[in-house]
Amino acid sequence: MAHEDCIFCKIIDGELPSAKVYEDEAVYAFLDISQVTKGHTLVIPKTHTKNIYETPPEVASKLFERIPTIANAIKKAYQPAGMNLLNNNEKLADQSVFHLHIHLLPRYGEDDGFSFNWQVHTDDYSQDDLQQIAKEINEAF
Ligand code: 5GP
Ligand code: ZN
């Protein structure tokens, strides 16, 4: 169901324009206006869901089922050297539109406009530390 004041719901409904890449009964894919790299695409469920936390399994399942096909179409069109998939959840994690979306970012080179900046802390965690963290998450299911 469309969510009031959600720009992605309005895009699905055609109330706002978009450059559509793909559509079926469950999923809509369109170009991100920011075009971080050429062909940068957003894949969204037609069912409004705020982000990954609120997404029912059947909505997630249909969304992710379509992604390999869409990724392969982008790959065929532009032959990128690689592709990153990205999903931001909540403001701190750079979510700015609160309708679940997966970014497909074709990669053309190291200076193509997209980069990771994450720090590796392998040396800070022992095998016991990792087991403890995994246990705590597992207990939260
Ligand atoms: P987020 O930061 O939430 O992960 O990503 C939201 C994305 O939506 C941004 O990359 C932004 O460029 C894109 N976006 C925001 N408004 C519009 C719009 O009206 N049309 C399109 N095509 N993309 C949008
Ligand atoms: Zn929405």
Q: What is the mean pLDDT of each run of 10 residues along the chain (141 residues)?
A: 89 98 98 98 98 98 98 98 98 98 97 94 98 98 97
What CATH homologous superfamily does 7-139 map to?
A: HIT-like (3.30.428.10)
The residues, ordered by sequence, that sit 6+ positions from 13 with a Cβ below 8 Å of its Cβ are: 2
User: 39 CA distance to ligand 1 centroid (A)?
Assistant: 14
Tens-digit pLDDT profile for residues 7-30: 999 999 999 999 999 999 999 999
Q: Give the strands of the sheet with 27-31, arranged side by side.
A: 20-23, 27-31, 41-45, 102-107, 82-86
Contact between 63 and 43 (Cβ < 8 Å): yes
To the question of pTM greater than 0.95 for the whole model, the response is: yes
Q: CA dist 17 to 2, 12, 35, 36, 120, Å?
A: 16, 9, 16, 19, 41
Number of other CB atoms surrounding residue 78 within 10 Å = 13
Among the options 99, 101, 103, 121, which is catalytic? 101
Q: Which residues surround ligand 2, an ion (CB under 5 A)?
A: 3, 6, 8-9, 48, 99
pLDDT the model gives residue 1: 60
Q: Is 101 a catalytic residue?
A: yes
Number of other CB atoms surrounding residue 42 within 10 Å = 22
94 CA: nearest ligand 1 atom: 2
76: enclosing H helix or E strand: helix 57-78
36 CA: nearest ligand 1 atom: 10
